[in-house]
Amino acid sequence: MNESGAAGTRRRGFGIVGVGVIGAVHAEAIGLLPGARLAAVTDAVPGRAKALAGEWDCAAEPSLAALLARDDVDVVSVCVPSGLHAEVGIQAAAAGKHLVVEKPIDVTLEAADRLIAAARGNGVLITVISQHRFDTGLDELRRLLDSGALGSLLLGEASTKWYRTQGYYDSAAWRGTRDLDGGSLLNQGVHYVDLLLWAMGPAAEVTAICATQAHRVEVEDTALALVRFASGAVGTIVSSTAVYPGFAQRLEVTGTNGTVVVEDGRITRRALAGERHGPGSPGGQRGPSAGPTASHTAATPATPPAGPAAATPATPGTDPGATPATDRSAARPGTDPGATPATDRSAATPGTEPNAAANPGGIDPSSHAAQIAEFLTAIDQGRQPAVTAESARATLEVVRAVYESARTGRTVVIPARSVDGAR
C-alpha cells in the first residue's frame, strides 16, 4: 500500500532489517524524504527494534518474515552484517520488495551474483549504498571528468586512514571476521574504492599487500594496492583502521590537464591548466565546494591508542558507536549484533559535522537520503538506478583481488566486463 507523496508521486513504505548504527542512519535518511516513510523495522534483538520503532513511530516486527509479509513495505533496507546481505536480500526479492543494500553488496562474488540474479528473477530493483557519489564535491568532479577538463586520466589515488579501537571489534562477534565482515578495505575503505573506479574506469589488474598490525582480528586492518586500469592509467589504494586519530577519506584524480583532490566529499584542491586565477590555482585557493576545516580532516577519539597487546574493550566515551564487548550475540538475518542502538549514536566532536574517521556512528544521513531519493525515482520511472548492483559487484571484485594478491604475493588480473549504471 502506498500513500500519496510530493508532486503526486507515490510515497513508498520502507522496512529496515538490522537496526544497529547503520540501520539508524537509514531511518534518518528515509525520514528526510517526502516520498518515503518508515513502515517497519526488525532485528534479532527485539528491544533494539522496539527502540528504533518508538523513535520513528513505526512497527517493530518480530521476524524478517513478518516484515516481508507487510503490504505497506515496498522497499527493504538491508542493514545486517555484510556476509548476510545476500541471504536477507534474496528473501526480500522473493517477496517482491525493492532493495537498498548497505555496502558492500556482500563479502563474496558468489553471494553477490546470487543476489543480483534474485533481483532480476523477481523483477525488483536493487541499489547498493555508495552515498559518497552524491556528495557535493563528487558532482563537480563528475562534471570535470565528463567535460574532459582533466584531459587523459593518468593517476588515481584512494585513501582511507581511519581509527578504530580494539573495543570496536570486540563489540560484536561478527566484527573483524572474514565470513561476515571483512577487513578495513571491505568495511571502511570500500566507499573510496568505489569512487576510484567511478572516476578512473574499470580496473585491469591489482598488486597488493595486507597486514594486521594494531588489532586482534582475523582480517587485515591495513591494505595497500597498486592498480592498473583498463585505460592504461594507474592508481593506488590505501585503507587502514589503525591510523590514529583518523583522517578524512581522500580521492585524488590526475589527468594530463590537472588534478582534483576530494576529502570527505568536498573538493579541497583543484588545479587545472589555464585556471591561473581560479579555484585551485598555484596560490592554494580552494574550490567552490569549500574544503574541510580541521574538524573534517582529523577526528580525535577520547583515548589515545594503546597498541594491540594493551587494547581493551570499549568503555563509555572511548569508541562512540560500538557496544560493550559483553553484547556479543551471534549474527543472524535481521540483526546487526553489537552495533549501538539508535538512541546512542553520539556524533563527532560537538560543533562539527558528523565524521566517521574515528567514530563509527558519525555518519551524515544526507548523502544516503540523496541516493535513496534517486532510487525511488528509478522505481517510479521503471529504469535502473544510478548506482546498480553490477557496479557494486565491480567494486567488490577489486577488493577480492586485493585480498587474493596479498594472499598469493602475485598480481591478480581482473576479467574485462561491462558494468552498467555507473553514476
- Same domain for 179 and 33: no
Q: Please tell me what DSSP assigns to residue 152.
A: S
Q: How many CB atoms lie within 10 A of CB 40?
A: 24
Q: Indicate the pTM of the whole model.
A: 0.83
- Same domain for 110 and 8: yes
- Same domain for 283 and 169: yes
**82, 182 contact by CB (below 8 A):** yes
- Same domain for 82 and 196: no
- Same domain for 268 and 155: yes
- Same domain for 218 and 285: yes
Ordered per-residue pLDDT tens for the chain, 423 residues: 455 554 446 799 999 999 999 999 999 999 999 999 999 999 999 999 999 999 999 999 999 999 999 999 999 999 999 999 999 999 999 999 999 999 999 999 999 999 999 999 999 999 999 999 999 999 999 999 999 999 999 999 999 999 999 999 999 999 999 999 999 999 999 999 999 999 999 999 999 999 999 999 999 999 999 999 999 999 999 999 999 999 999 999 999 999 999 999 999 999 999 886 444 443 333 443 433 332 233 333 334 444 433 333 333 333 333 333 333 333 444 444 333 333 333 333 333 445 789 888 889 999 999 999 999 999 999 999 999 999 999 999 999 999 999 999 999 999 987 554 444
Decide if 345 is inside a domain: no
User: What residues have CB less than 8 Å from 98, skipping those under 6 apart?
Assistant: 74, 75, 76, 124, 125, 126, 375, 379
**217, 183 contact by CB (below 8 A):** yes
- Same domain for 264 and 152: yes
Decide if 107 is inside a domain: yes
pLDDT for res 275: 84
Residue 243 belongs to a domain with what CATH number?
A: 3.30.360.10
Helix axes 21-31, 46-56, angle to 10 degrees: 20
Q: Distances from the Cα of 131 to the Cαs of 230, 300, 387, in angstroms?
A: 25, 24, 9
Length of the chain: 423
**Residue range(s) defining the domain that contains residue 8:** 3-131+364-388
- Same domain for 188 and 88: no
Number of structural domains in the chain? 2
